[in-house]
Amino acid sequence: MTDFITTPEGRRIAYVPTAGAGPGIVFLHGFKSDMEGTKAVALEAWARAQGRAFLRLDYSGHGASDGVFEEGAIGDWFEDARDAILALTEGPQVLVGSSMGGWIALLIARHHPEKLAGLVTIAAAPDFTEDGYWASFDKDQRRELEQVGHIDVPSDYGDPYRITRRLINEGRNRLVLRSPLDLPFPVRFLQGTADTAVSVETALRLLDHATGPDMRLTLVKGADHRFSEPDDLALIESAVAEVLARIG
């Protein structure tokens, strides 16, 4: 059943909690996705079968939460996730971040390391506003973004994505690959080789940049960005189980 919480910033966020033992698991969805996606729901069912606490949520402007997607930015969505985790979970959690959710999980790890018992990312997309969108724009597109305030870019998932000037500019305050990134807990990165949204090079860059005592990257040949085939879902569950076992 969906519940709602109003964050200190005044945003009304939708979430679905599952009671159980700790450390709990928190699923953080991707850009213009929501908590009803295949990976979130499958992992929730797995957690429930394990008797493990689980939380999924929608950032503002996504899914059942209030707000307009085009008005949001990485910092807003990081605050939404952080506020929900601080208010709705007890003790350290295992964060599972998909795509942009991986970036948000890394931001939480940087600012609130005490809330992480472990981390699993699926096609993590740290710094994608800068290294993905901005880096790919030509001179005319950059001028349009600055003058008009937004630019529409094609998407493999339906309608074009409206990328706003605020999304790009605010994202520059949230970059995680330009300064030290310590992850002092079990970490498992998962990445498909057929992913056209997040490259294997991005996964390798993250692995190389981050520091930590227990960090592994698994590449799945042929897996795409959705990472939602039955074998992919089983691998996510296995990675979470491995992280939980490492915690002890």
What SS3 string covers 130-149?
HHHHHHHCCHHHHHHHHHHC
Per annotation, catalytic residue among 60, 76, 225, 232: 225
Q: How many of the other CB atoms lie within 10 Å of CB of 187?
A: 26
Between helices 74-88 and 100-111, what is the axis angle to 10°? Answer: 60
152 catalytic, yes or no?
no
Per annotation, catalytic residue among 83, 99, 127, 232: 99
Radius of gyration for the chain, computed over Cα atoms and rounded to the nearest angstrom: 17
64 three-class SS? coil
Rounded-to-integer distance, Cα 85 and Cα 100, Å = 17
111 catalytic, yes or no?
no
Rounded-to-integer distance, Cα 134 and Cα 145, Å = 10
Rounded-to-integer distance, Cα 143 and Cα 228, Å = 37
225 catalytic, yes or no?
yes
Assigned token pair, 16: 């679905």
* CB-CB contact of 20 with 53 (8 Å): yes
* CB-CB contact of 124 with 206 (8 Å): yes
Per annotation, catalytic residue among 195, 209, 232, 238: 195
Active site residues: 99, 195, 225
